[in-house]
C-alpha cells in the first residue's frame, strides 16, 4: 500500500516550529536531561487545538513525561507507557504535585546529613563493576551516601523519587562520562563535579520548579487530575481497550540512539540493570534484539531496508526490526483508541549512507494499513533538540560539520495526525 500524501511538497509550518522557544524547562520539564525529547509547546498546542476537557490522553513512548506533564497542567487525564525504568522514575517525579513545605523539610534533613558526613569514614558498597569504570572512588563514595540517605528518609515515595531524580541528573557530571559524546565514552581530561555540591544545586532548581507547578495546579484545580505511568512495552500494554481519546507521542528515532546505553549510570546505581546487553533487548528498534528477517509489509519500508542492506547489513536489520516493531505499536494504538480517536506522531526523517529513511511516510503507510485515516501532516524545522544531527555520508557514523563528508540528517520533523476509522 502506497501513501499518497504529498510529503515532499509540504511547506514548513512556522506556527509549529517555535523558533523563539529556547527553554523546555517550564513547570517540571527541566528536572532531568533526556535525549531527543520533544518540545512541550508541541504537546501543549495539540492538546489545546485538538482535545476536549474530558479527554483521556496516552503516550506509548512516554520517556521523561512531557505529554503527561502537559496533560496534567491542562486538566486532562493521562497514562504513559515506557519500557525504561529510568524514564518511569523521571516521569513519576515530574507529574507529582508535592507540597513545597514537605520538600523543604526533607531537603533540610538531607543537607544536615551531608554536613555531618565525614568522608573519611565512608565505605564503598558493592554496586556493579561498571560503576567502578565510570566513577572515581571519592565520587562513588559520596553518591552512595546520597543514595542511601534518600532511601532512609521517612517520607512517601513521591518525595523520595524527587530526590532520586535529582541525584540521577548529576551522575554524568560526577563521572568520567564525556558529556559531548553521542554515545558512552570516557573523557580522560574530565574533572568530575563534587556529588554533594552538584546534588544540592540540582535540588534547589527542582524545588523552584516544583513550587511553580504546585501553585499553578492548585490555582487551576488540577492537582488531583489522574496521571499514571506504566513500566510496559508499547507493543503490548495493559491499557483498557477503546479507553483513550488521543495518543500524543514521539517514538524513538531510527538509527539514532541506544537509549538504554544513555541511561546506564542511573540503571546501575538504582539496580535497574544487571546486564546491559539484556537490558538493551527490551527497547524498540535496537539492533541487539533484531531477527534475521529483512522484511516489512509496508512497501516504502521494504524499499528502504533493501537500499540500506546494500550498504550495511547490520543497520538494515536494525531498520527492519524498527519498522516491524512500529507496526505492532500501531495495532496497539488502534486497540486502545476509542472510535474516531486520534493519534499524533512526532517523527523525523533521516539519512544513512545517502539512503533516505523517510520515517514519517513509512509511519503513515503503517497507520493506513492498520485502519487509520491520515488527516493531516505538519512539517516543522527542529531549531533545538538534544539529538545527534550530523552524519558522515560514507560511513554513516555521527560526526561534526568540520568533516568534509558531513550531512545534516535531522533537518526537520513531521507531526502525523491520523484518526481511527
Here the cell at position 12 is: 514548513
Fold of 14-97+224-420: Rossmann fold (3.40.50)
Within 66-225, strands assigned E span 77-82
Q: Note whether 360 and 301 are within 8 A (CB).
A: no
pLDDT of residue 231: 98
DSSP character string of 17-79: T-TT-----STTTTSS--TTPPPHHHHHHHHHHH--TT-EEEETT-TTTHHHHHHHHTT-EEE
Q: Would you kindly state where each structural domain of the chain is located, as residue ranges?
A: 14-97+224-420, 100-207
Here the cell at position 327 is: 507496526
pLDDT of residue 401: 58
pTM of the predicted model as reported, rounded to 2 decimal places: 0.92
Burial zone of 205 (CB within 10 Å; 0-12 exposed, 13-18 middle, 19+ buried): middle
Residue tagged 523519587 (cell numbers): 161
Q: Note whether 360 and 304 are within 8 A (CB).
A: no
pLDDT of residue 283: 86
Task: Report the phi/psi class of residue 271: left, alpha or beta, with left for phi > 0 and alpha for psi in -120 to 50.
Answer: left
Determine how many CB atoms are found less than 10 A away from the CB of residue 286: 21
Per-residue tens of pLDDT for the chain, all 421 residues: 445 567 878 999 999 988 887 667 799 999 999 887 789 999 999 999 999 999 999 999 999 999 999 999 999 999 999 999 999 999 999 999 999 999 999 999 999 999 999 888 887 766 788 999 999 999 999 999 999 999 999 999 999 999 999 999 999 999 999 987 768 999 999 999 999 999 999 999 999 999 999 999 999 999 999 999 999 999 999 999 999 999 999 998 887 777 788 899 999 999 999 888 888 888 886 767 656 678 888 999 999 999 999 998 888 988 999 999 999 999 999 999 999 999 999 998 888 888 989 999 999 999 999 999 999 999 998 865 555 555 566 665 655 556 666 555 556 899 999 999 9
Cα diameter, the chain:
68
Query: Phi, psi (5° rounding) for residue 344?
Result: -120, 105
Here the cell at position 184 is: 558512552
pLDDT of residue 1: 45
Amino acid at each position: 500500500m502506497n501513501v499518497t500524501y504529498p510529503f515532499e511538497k509540504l511547506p514548513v509550518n512556522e506556527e509549529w516550529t517555535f523558533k523563539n522557544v529556547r527553554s523546555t524547562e517550564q513547570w517540571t520539564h527541566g528536572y532531568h536531561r533526556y535525549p531527543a525529547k520533544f518540545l512541550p509547546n508541541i504537546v501543549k498546542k495539540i492538546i489545546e487545538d485538538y482535545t476536549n476537557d474530558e479527554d483521556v490522553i496516552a503516550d506509548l513512548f512516554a520517556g521523561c513525561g512531557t505529554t503527561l506533564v502537559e496533560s496534567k497542567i491542562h486538566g486532562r487525564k493521562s497514562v504513559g507507557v515506557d519500557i525504561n525504568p529510568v524514564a518511569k522514575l523521571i516521569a513519576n517525579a515530574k507529574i507529582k504535585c508535592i507540597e513545597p513545605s514537605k520538600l523543604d523539610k526533607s531537603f533540610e534533613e538531607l543537607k544536615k546529613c551531608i554536613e555531618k558526613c565525614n568522608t573519611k569514614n565512608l565505605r564503598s558498597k558493592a554496586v556493579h563493576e561498571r560503576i567502578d569504570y565510570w566513577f572515581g572512588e571519592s565520587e562513588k563514595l559520596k553518591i552512595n551516601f546520597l543514595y542511601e540517605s534518600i532511601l532512609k528518609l521517612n517520607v512517601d515515595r513521591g518525595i523520595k523519587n524527587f530526590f532520586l531524580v535529582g541525584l540521577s541528573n548529576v551522575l554524568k557530571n560526577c563521572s568520567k562520562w564525556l558529556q559531548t559524546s553521542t554515545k558512552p565514552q570516557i573523557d580522560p581530561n574530565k574533572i568530575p563535579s563534587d556529588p554533594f555540591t552538584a546534588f544540592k544545586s540540582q535540588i534547589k532548581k527542582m524545588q523552584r520548579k516544583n513550587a511553580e507547578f504546585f501553585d499553578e495546579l492548585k490555582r487551576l484545580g488540577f492537582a488531583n487530575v489522574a496521571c499514571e505511568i506504566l513500566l510496559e512495552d508499547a507493543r503490548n500494554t495493559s491499557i483498557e481497550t477503546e479507553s483513550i481519546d488521543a495518543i500524543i507521542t514521539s517514538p524513538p528515532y531510527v538509527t539514532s540512539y541506544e537509549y538504554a546505553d544513555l541511561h546506564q549510570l542511573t540503571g546501575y546505581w538504582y539496580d535497574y540493570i544487571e546486564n546491559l546487553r539484556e537490558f538493551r533487548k527490551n527497547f524498540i528498534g535496537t539492533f541487539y534484539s533484531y531477527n534475521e528477517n529483512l522484511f516489512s509489509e509496508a512497501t516504502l519500508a521494504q524499499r528502504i531496508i533493501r537500499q540500506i542492506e546494500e550498504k550495511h547489513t547490520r543497520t538494515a536489520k536494525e531498520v527492519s526490526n524498527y519498522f516491524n516493531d512500529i507496526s505492532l505499536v500501531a495495532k496497539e494504538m488502534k486497540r486502545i483508541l476509542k472510535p474516531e480517536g486520534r493519534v499524533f506522531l512526532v517523527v523525523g526523517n533521516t539519512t544513512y549512507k545517502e539512503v533516505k529513511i523517510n520515517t514519517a511516510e513509512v509511519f503513515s503507510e503503517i497507520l493506513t494499513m492498520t485502519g487509520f485515516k491520515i488527516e493531516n501532516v505538519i512539517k516543522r524545522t527542529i531549531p533545538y533538540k538534544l539529538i545527534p544531527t550530523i552524519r558522515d555520508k560514507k560511513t554513516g557514523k555521527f560526526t561534526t560539520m568540520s568533516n568534509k563528508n558531513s550531512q545534516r540528517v535531522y533537518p526537520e520533523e513531521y507531526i502525523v495526525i491520523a484518526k481511527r476509522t
